[in-house]
């Protein structure tokens, strides 16, 4: 099953995804897309790391998400990807439109063939004010298009607000 968990900052989306992964009772692989490049991001990573069960496998991959998903997914596995918008940011910062397009298409193309449980976490950024800068507008556009394409392919899509899940598609939680 493919699941997409969306929400704003501190909405409870990662906590919900981690609970779903634990409840799956499968071997869990956590794919972290962040690149902790400063002290504040290091603190965020440490917080997430401390919250996760020690037996979960961890893969840190900022760019080649499709490749890592193909290598990690299995019928007896749950793969949790946290988070897609950080992955998208990493690609946007390369300033290579062809690479962004290739990685995005590789991700979308591999989804139908992935076995097991796959849970994606991503920031819903399209509910706020339209950003002033070109790069941030592009980020919001790319995230919105990615979320639409993923939501179409996922069996369950959930929006989290204030720690509460609202099922948008599929079986309610």
**Cα dihedral angle (166, 84, 48, 61), rounded to 10 degrees?**
150
Contact 153, 112 (CB under 8 A): yes
Q: Which residue among the candidates 27, 47, 48, 147 is catalytic per the annotation?
A: 48
- Is 27 a catalytic site residue? no
Nearest partner of 82 among 53, 47, 121, 56, judged by Cα: 121
45, exposed or middle or buried, with CB in 10 Å at 0-12, 13-18, 19+? middle
Residues serving a catalytic function are 48
């Amino acid at each position: 099953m493919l699941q997409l968990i969306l929400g704003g900052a501190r909405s409870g989306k990662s906590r919900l995804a981690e609970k779903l992964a634990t409840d799956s009772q499968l071997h869990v692989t956590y794919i972290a897309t962040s690149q902790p490049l400063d002290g504040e991001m290091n603190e965020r990573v440490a917080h997430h790391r401390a919250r996760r069960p020690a037996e979960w496998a961890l893969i840190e991959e900022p760019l080649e998400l499709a490749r890592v998903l193909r290598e990690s997914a299995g019928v007896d596995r749950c793969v949790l990807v946290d988070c897609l918008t950080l992955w998208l940011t990493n690609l946007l910062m390369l300033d290579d439109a062809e690479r962004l397009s290739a990685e995005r298409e590789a991700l979308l193309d591999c989804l139908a063939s992935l076995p097991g449980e796959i849970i994606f976490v991503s920031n819903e950024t399209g509910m706020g004010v339209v950003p002033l800068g070109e790069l941030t507008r592009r980020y919001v556009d790319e995230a919105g298009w990615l979320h639409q394409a993923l939501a179409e392919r996922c069996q369950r899509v959930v929006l989290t607000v204030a720690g509460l899940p609202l099922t948008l598609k599929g079986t309610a939680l």
